[in-house]
Structure 1
Amino acid sequence: MIIVTGANGQLGRRVVDRLLTRIPAERVGVSVREPHRAQALANRGVRVRQGSFTDPASLAHAFEGATQVLLVSVDKMGEETVREHRDAIAAAVEAGARRILYTSQMGASAASHFQACRDHDATESALRACGVPFTSLRNGFHAASALLLLGSALETGEIALPEDGPVCWTTHDDLAEAAAVVLADEGRFEGPTPSLTAGQALTFADIAALATELTGRAVKRTVVSDEEFRERMVGQGAPDEVADQLLGIFAASRAGEFGAADPALPALLGREPVTMDTVLRDRLSGGGA
């Protein structure tokens, strides 16, 4: 049985949907914190069990009978995140999984300017040491994150953010489909994959130009200092630590950590990945990435 964690989340839910087009539902299980929110999956024949990275004991039941476990990385950063990932890896090993998959990120490195990438590197080190074959999906930077950073810029006509560098913005849908392909073809990748990215790296100046073209009105890219951005985030209620972590995205992109496109994702999908102009069109029409 293939177990997918975080199946109520943006990525995990999409992975399960695409996995169900490839293998029978009785071969799919999910580990979720709130099983009642996964009732639609249970209705489709998926095994739904409660499991949380913050409660390692719960994972023994959630992972029972697993042949493969996809660990969807938690949506936070720091030492606690890595500890939770290590506990989940240990639970997958204990459950007898013959392969562990993990949603990592392009740029995963102990030397990254972005905390999440340092966390992913630490988790990959734990995977290497766990004694079970693993696949680390080096996902491109989520296009949804670009939309969050844009905020209301498409409406105000100004993108006011720190200096950045090119980023291969990649949709949840494409990354979920790739994960499902890899899960259904066990052993296709050993260890970290190549970067799973969209085909083009864009700066926020590029995104401003796309938005201008799509909306028919000028969208200006304004560079603010790191400190000004940090003060703005804190003023809007973000904790100091979170503001610093967000700044890490810009420092890492300036260093070129997210700018190298790779052909691995289109090869997995059998088509070109969704482009940022499509993501912006969806955003403007009320959709999402």
Structure 2
Amino acid sequence: MIGITGVTGKLGSYVANLVDKKGMVSVHLARSPERAKVYASAEIRKMVYTNTPEVVEALKGIDTLLMVSARENPERVKEHKDFLDAAKLAGVQHIVYTSFYGADEKATFTLSRDHAQTEAYIKELGFTYTFLRDNFYLDFLLDIALENGEIRGPAGSGQVSAVARKDTSRVAAEILLHAKKWKNQTLNLTGPEELSMEEIVALLSKETGNAITYVDESVEEAYESRKKWPAQTWEYDAWVSTYTAIKAGEQAGVSTDVEKVLGHPASSLLDILRDRKLIEEEHD
């Protein structure tokens, strides 16, 4: 039996829909079940990232589990470990975990360190696994650029091989359906090209006809400019280190793993932009 967490979120809901289209029976796990889309092929169960008898019960009968990483917070690693303990007690065999490209406990991007610790714990507990190490989302960079008319951050001339969210969802669904084929593998999910912030805004400016700029802030300027959004220190650290990780070269490098799983090349920045234009035109 397939289990899918995060079904009320963007990635999890998309995976749930893809699995349903394949005619596969599954269990959908959500913190707020009332918000989950209802499918005839799926049972919805309440679940939070902790280790309680209720969570163990919710996970029973699931062999292969898509574990979408918990929402960002300072206790995320503990939540992941508690949840994995519950999954082990419930008899889950295979964990498909949404990790991060270049996950390392010493990574520049602060949230990448959470993923490295979670990967290590999955192995420690003896699960078979597939780690989906997706890079930053193209969708995220596109949203920032189009909404603000600029990208602002201390990325310098560093490059990022950002990936489309739809590609990561499609890969996750395919892995769930054929878990044995991808047993104990780490897949690096990137786009088909690595781009600097200057190259991203140049492509978007040309395609949209609007002048979109890149402001290469210093680290100090980046922290200061983000103070207009009330947040905790760890959040500011994560936001700024998104860009310093790119500057450090930790988010560069192109992988063909998306194509290896899906049978076609990963979507590019312009592919995603043009998809959006088509959707907008259909709703005009």
TM-score, with structure 1 as normaliser: 0.89
Question: 1:65 aligned to 50, 61, 65, which one?
Answer: 61
Tell me the distance in 2 between the aligned counterparts of 1:3 and 1:113: 32
Q: How far 1:92 moved relative to its partner?
A: 1.3
Q: Alpha carbons of 1:240 and 1:176: their partners in 2 closer, same or farther (altered >3 Å)?
A: same
Partner of 2:17: 17
Q: How does 1:25-40 map to 2 (within 5 A)?
A: 27-38=25-36, 40=37
Which digits, 9 at most, give the CA deviation of each residue in 1:154-176, with x for residues without a partner? 3xxx4332234211111221111
Higher mean displacement: 222-231 or 278-287: 278-287
Tell me the distance in 1 between the aligned counterparts of 2:202 and 2:117: 37
Partner of 1:116: 111
Higher mean displacement: 210-219 or 144-153: 144-153
Tell me the distance in 2 between the aligned counterparts of 1:179 and 1:4: 10
Partner secondary structure for residue 162 of structure 1: coil
Question: 2:208 aligned to 215, 237, 245, which one?
Answer: 215
Structure 2 contact 99–132 (Cα < 8 Å) conserved:
yes
Q: How far 1:236 moved relative to its partner?
A: 2.7
Q: How far 1:61 moved relative to its partner?
A: 2.5
Structure 2 contact 145–212 (Cα < 8 Å) conserved:
no
Partner of 2:42: 46
Structure 1 contact 92–100 (Cα < 8 Å) conserved:
no
Tell me the distance in 2 between the aligned counterparts of 1:2 and 1:13: 14
Partner of 1:159: 151
Identical residues among aligned pairs (%): 29
Question: 2:272 aligned to 264, 273, 279, which one?
Answer: 279
Q: Is there any run of 5+ residues in structure 1 with no aligned partner, and where?
A: none
Partner of 1:253: 246
Q: How does 1:73-84 map to 2 (within 5 A)?
A: 73-78=69-74, 80-84=75-79
Structure 1 contact 74–81 (Cα < 8 Å) conserved:
yes
Q: Is there any run of 5+ residues in structure 2 with no aligned partner, and where?
A: none
Tell me the distance in 2 between the aligned counterparts of 1:56 and 1:143: 37
Structure 1 contact 30–62 (Cα < 8 Å) conserved:
no
Partner of 1:239: 232
Tell me the distance in 2 between the aligned counterparts of 1:113 and 1:143: 20
The yes-or-no answer on 1:88 pairing with 2:80 is: no
Tell me the distance in 1 between the aligned counterparts of 2:136 and 2:152: 20
TM-score, with structure 2 as normaliser: 0.91
Partner secondary structure for residue 200 of structure 1: coil
Tell me the distance in 1 between the aligned counterparts of 2:89 and 2:173: 23
Q: How far 1:54 moved relative to its partner?
A: 4.5
Q: How does 1:142-181 map to 2 (within 5 A)?
A: 142-150=137-145, 152-154=147-149, 158-164=150-156, 165-181=158-174
Q: Alpha carbons of 1:238 and 1:149: their partners in 2 closer, same or farther (altered >3 Å)?
A: farther
Tell me the distance in 2 between the aligned counterparts of 1:107 and 1:159: 23
